[in-house]
Structure 1
């Protein structure tokens, strides 16, 4: 059994506490549940194999009360596949107090909802690191925003993968030449020794550099996947292929298998090509991130909020950060629509080319959805905000 404390808002009396306690106790796998309206919290003992924190939080909400949760988005620089995302989700989901986690390797991030009274972002970051991945940590007090830290981490990753790729090319080109000489010319073009060293040992030296420098990350990630996370991912496949070619070649070079060929070139080229792919992927993500930042730079800085008082409408200009879901906004011709919303009054054509790429303005009438940062071209629109901030 595990014990979990859930902060609960909205409890005002003993009857509220009883309602919350009964709602939690009704969840399958809950052994006992008590709520204290004075402390604004509920304590639950439950079987983690039969239920999870997300079900407990849902039970509180269904009872009409609001669990005290927080949300955070953690940047992760080295997820490469769906398996990586699933591993992160399992690792973070195992942290006490985590309600829900959604990891996205394409976006290099994990969105986490958690019980603020039970855990915090630091523990979530530690869980990601223990799973073998690199979180963009919130250092606190360094003056950099989350976006700045993630951009710095992404830039460092691009530079790192580029340098590894260049090194891979340097050690692989001579190996490629040896392979071409052997396959195309029967080994008659290149000399049998280089500076008095047999070419087989030269190939061994070049491939060893690739194994140590380029392969280190793949082998480390494979160890984390197999030993820590008890799963296999793409790194395991890469490490298996490269190490098999390298190991077989070493055995052949030592004369254990006299008739066997050398495949040092294969061992190095596998790592080089995969590293090149990682570099191109990191660079494309960086370009996509830059395009997104450029798009966000088009966002309006203020919004005109319409308020009705005794049948009289008043307008006030407020910072965009102060706009809440449900606010009604007035958008005049030529102005940017401040945030995602729904047209409640007026008709116009909206230029959505900055978001969709469609050059022809789209007609908007009451009931139609509009996208933040697009431009109202003709009539006056009254828009009710449906998503604000990071949720747009």
Structure 2
């Protein structure tokens, strides 16, 4: 991005920040497209500018739209009410939903929604400083789960990561990547961003940690031999934000592009110094920090045949999960997206609570975080 383009970004953010009807916002074509590419079985070493454009993904998990609407949904209520099946259903938010936090079952909130910027799509980001959602169709912005910063990612600067102050509109660009940068995400406390890196020329893999003060460090990880990983091999955060997690492929089992590669477990690394810390025999990929139950006993992962709830210590599959990106509201309940609703379920799979989403969010990927 040229200096004039950067000044344009700053001007746009300031202009939107002062608008009465909305404010700066986000755009996130890249992210929605990245979800599609992931389903096409990307390998760990996929690199180049195209991958860089897909890089930044919020840590508070992204909920892509499921196909169709709920077929068993009761008529939309005008006030919160329990159905005959004992499911608590909330009314659908009205047209002015951007003026306040969009609260979800279990005390979580929507922190962003991502569309297709290059085709005129609209995105939203939650600005805590103003207590409303900001709207934009030009840039990819992802708010931290806490605080007033957002990650800015621009296709014109594939090796840079921007930190946007939603209060002032100022963007600070940090050189974080080599040409093969993979996806990145905020830590649960909003203090750091982790990015997955790959040097196309040397074939070296590493993860980078970007602090909100602009400090950036990289740590090399041998994915080819010592920490063998194929298929989708991004680093994600642990629940406490002290470690990053890398899935490891089971080299003794066949690999095919028709299904996710079998995992032997998950390797943890210190986010402070990059050293390997521990290994757990979990057969699947966690989507992010909220995939881990608060007590640390269970984790939701993407398994070979579908989403699973797995015991962390033993790797034993406890049950199927409602979605591979379901988050733990507490040790006994999971929140996930189904069509145009957010659903709260128990570990037995029974639905407990349902929140319809605003019509403006149809077809958009969502990011959520504890309220």
Same fold (TM over 0.5): no
Structure with the larger RCO, 1 or 2 (CA within 8 Å, 6+ apart): 2
Write 1 or 2 for the structure with the bigger share of strand: 2
Band of TM-score, shorter chain: under 0.3
Write 1 or 2 for the structure with the bigger share of helix: 1
Q: TM-score, normalised by structure 1?
A: 0.24
